[in-house]
Structure 1
Amino acid sequence: MNISNVLCTRLFFSKIALFTSVQLSKQAKIPRCSFCLSSSLHRKPNKAKDYKVTKKIAKPKAKPDKLATVWKSMTVKELATAIGTDPDNVFEAMLLSKLNTDRYYKLSSKIDDMAVITKVVQNCGRRPQIVANPTLKESEEDKDAYRRPPPDPSCLVKRPPVVTVMGHVDHGKTTLLDALRHTNVVASEFGGITQHIGAFSVKLSSGNQVTFLDTPGHAAFSSMRERGANVTDIVVLVVAADDGVMDQTKESIKYARQANVPIVVAINKIDRPGADVEMTKDALLANGIQLEDRGGDTIAVPISALKRIGLEALVESIVLQAELLEVSADPKGPVEGVVVECQADLNRGILSTLLIQRGTLKKGAWLVAGTAYGKIKGMLNDQRSSIETASPATPVEVFGWKDMPSVGDLVLEVESEKRAREVVEYRQKKLELEKMKDDLKAIKEKEDEHMKEYGEILKQRREIGWFHVRYALAKKRRELTKKDVEFEAPRVSIVVKGDVEGSIEAILNIISSYYSNECELDLIHFGVGPVTDNDVKLAEPYNGIIYAFNVTVPTSVSSTAASSNVQIRLHNVIYKMFDDLKEEINSKMPPKDEEQILGQADVIQEFVITEGKKKIPVAGCRCTKGILKKDAQYRLKRGEEYIFDGKLTSMRHLKNEVDQIKKDVDCGLRLSDTQIRVQHGDVLECYQLVKVPQKVDWDPGF
């Protein structure tokens, strides 16, 4: 650049500066200098004149802190305060976030989605700092409800013993209870197996009252058996004499030992062909059950529940064991108990089966169980008859709950609705605080992981330069995106509805054991009670299937499902339901390639032919197994090693080009790779890839 160019450039920028100065002085009405026509601000200031002006000039505000402290379930108003902006700006930022924010339309709306909170903060030009909810501090005053101290021995009265019947599936537990109760419950069970925990009050032939709990023996209902062992006085272990000690028998023994309760063994089905009582006793001994006739203290009674053989001896053993335990309870004061089972009824709402452990339950009492509470509006006994009171060791079905309690929850009576609400709110806040701590821990671990990855990237930047790292990261993103586009795992989406909470618990435990890279299993929703229109609406966007276990489907819901192309599959036997689910998963899985061996040929000699100036090896072979096809795949095996895998370019018999060679026929085979040299003794395997349907490798446990 020469000097004239430099001068022209300077003159151009000086004209721009002069023009800008004139325009600014016109707007501000500032006098201009007569010499340079620029504003007179460059003159020497007059302190006397300019003092007032300088006092009026406002100091620039300090920049606000870019960090905004946020937490889960904060309200819109709290979020606006944390950011330091107007709530209208928060609502506008929600619209810009393109997330599901329709439900947050009030200042008091709690934002339970951290993704929304984070996006709003970022849209407002701040950085989110996630902390625990400051309003959820540990309360100094414990407002929870607890069991009462142990009662005075003088207040105790004798009560019926609680006996839990446990054992393997189809060993005759329900049949035994039917024989004791003179009923036929087993005839009404789907698939011939018990799928609920049942509570019955039975008056034995001896005149004694006993409360029986019947637990399922199927592998899916492990949690029910564990709960049954924890609320009982005595465990009656039913073992079939023709089947012996099985998996769920061993599991029942384990639960009884954990609960530290005595066991009475009922060796059932002694009338069956192939029944071996002594072999069954040996198997029990091998699993740690020390029977009386083998030098131990556990009573074993051979019976046949179906033909009512040995029942009197079994009843005497149960009564004797109960007398040794001297079971008793305090029938006065607030009620304490345990939730045995829960279900939803269209007419009566939420029903729960309770086992009273202390106090006497009366109609109108306020109960708390976990985070659920309610006023008892009615009580039913095991015969479905209405009753007014329930004393200790009495199984009773109650309704009037505001929310559904969980099976196994401790039930406590409180004095009023206000107290019940107070207890539930305290427990909910405590659970939310614990969850918040877990979330913060998970966030911290994620941040540490991110910082570790960032540190590695930073190290690479310093070593090879930022441009190369950015290029590598962009390439990696493209590869991941391409992979996601090319392969998307098939998915089976389901909604599960069950008759009682125990069934839902068992189903969810089995679903949680599912894992497969070939097909995803997506649980959209689950609940207790009949199928509703809401279940259909939830399943429709996902092309989901509704599995209804032991529940009804109203006609209106069936019509809605049919118009929405949503399948509702009814089942009343748990293993049949999961067989159906496995078939559905199998139908979604892509077929896989499988090798099908067509034939085999032995290399007798190598021939070298000339094509133009090239020398090409040809394998002189004899087909020894099956047939050889020209368009199939071939593998060349030498000893234990494969040295070629590919296609043929030529297959000849004598001088003719052919498509296939049969067994015991000589041929010349030319491989696609002309660099491969064959030897006498090599073996050529002919195979083809066929598509075969896949089956999911998932064992639900039955």
Structure 2
Amino acid sequence: MSKVRIYTLAKDLGVENAKMLEILDGLGVSYKSVSSTIEEDTVELIKDILAAEAEGGAPAQADADTTPAAAPTEAPAQTTVQTAPQATEAAAQTGAAPVADQTEAPVSTEKEIPHRAPVVTIMGHVDHGKTSLLDYIRKTKVAAKEAGGITQHVGAFEAKTSKGKIVFIDTPGHEAFTTIRARGANVADIAIIVIAADDSLMPQTREAIAHAQAAKVPMIVAINKVDLPQADPERVKTDLTQLNLVPEEYGGDLVVVPVSAKTGEGVEDLLEYISLTAEIEDLRADPKGEFSGVVIEGKVDKQAGVLATVMVQEGTLHVSDFLVVGENYGKIKAMTDSNGARIKEAGPSTPVQILGFSEVPSSGEKVISAKNEHAAREVVAGRADVRRDEEDARDRRKGQRSLEDLLGPLGTVRTVNLILRADTQGSVEAIQGILARKEKDDVKINVMLAGIGAPTEGDVLLASTAEATILCFSVTASGGVKKVADTKGVDIKSFRIIYELIDEVDRLIKGNLEPVFEERYLGRAEVRMVIRHPKSGNIAGSYVTDGSLKRNAKAKVTRGKQVVYEGTIVGLKRFKDDVREVQTGYECGINVDWNDVMEGDIIEASEMVEVEQN
């Protein structure tokens, strides 16, 4: 029996994807996304439902002064739904003019935030065809202008496609530019992972996937170069399953599209999937709201001066606006769009190049607007004060990390993020196998990236953003990478013996487990006299009959069979000396910070001890 994709059926029948999913929910049909397929008999049921709705009458939109009176509905934002014959009959009964037959859907009177164009980042291994794919989409030859055909900087481009405007961020795939690529993923709504059909997964491919997962953006895999004779798309799909990424045709939810940047095969399908994913994500931004954006790239031009490429995320940017980035500010003197044309304003999901900053802003920094120069200076001064306060506080607690800093907030299930580097693929697989057996019910081990060779700066950046630990087996980090790790506060730990590495993982797991404590009995003492003290209150002159008593231990005072007090031993004395502990058979003075202690009372001491967890 033939099958059809949900979004294709919606398009053929002229209904919205959301409407199609609503019908499927009503029928109890399971699906993963609008790109899932459904059976032919389900298609017939959907057609019958839509036909029945059409016969029952389409929603009519009428002017407020000509709409016949009707009972109030649950949705006040919509006009009363009537068919044209019903409206005409009602008008005849009330003496009003007949309402014209209208088939447009009712329009909500509530102000809604409009949709915005999706921002898409292209990531993957070097030479897998990322820039060539963009070239085909926007019909320009960017690669020809760059050294060796490898993208050397982050560029943002608007593409007018058959599915509307899509903003593409072209991020470098070479390992040397991992830092820039990570910033590209952070500002994007959708990540396209380009994988060559004749090459499959490569080290930078795995890094790109890890960065996209860390940024928590939807992923679409584009298998490029399917036009080559040696292309093997099925091998790529199989390799993806090893990373727990299961394509839709294998029963998973990962969208995989075979494409050719050379012939254009599958490119329209890719754009369709981008449009569908954006629709599902329901991307919206208020062009009239407060401006916010992100710096994509900053550079110094010999003629123009400091130029910054900014992605507008909220609000609208105008020439002459004052912008604040970090502890710097500037006034927009000129703006150009992705085609190099001068523009006066830019709305959400628009990349613009701005002239007006005195210093080059760093990629990935947030941008906000200010009403005037005075307000911009105040924001900058406030940020400088906050930074200095944070630096002072950091200096004061340098080398001292709290339990919260080390473990994070206590919760039901916590995750230990790891980046694994080893000398051989066999070592990587062996260690991963051992780690998989180390997981506990309340602690999950997440190996974000596992590869062969020494850790890179890209690994450090990923570990920094994901709060991960880098574990190395039989490989060591270079001095430059260690320096970056120290700056970012990332732990890189190298091991030559596999059992030592596993012990370190055990320590990390234990550190992420909620500690379990139990009350452990210490000893007891009998109160033989009560000493009145003008400052400390009543002191219980006691004789230790069993075990020992410790200062700061928990204390329980019993009188007969009744517990009359529970608290803490705040003071312990032997004659005039303060002591920390008193053993069996010795006399002592006990201060439990309670003045009603009496002769004959029994003071029992205990302490909370952490239980070793297996």
TM-score bracket for this pair, using the shorter chain length: 0.3 to 0.5
Find the structure with the greater CA-based Rg.
1
- TM-score after normalising by structure 1: 0.41
Q: Which has the higher helix share?
A: 1
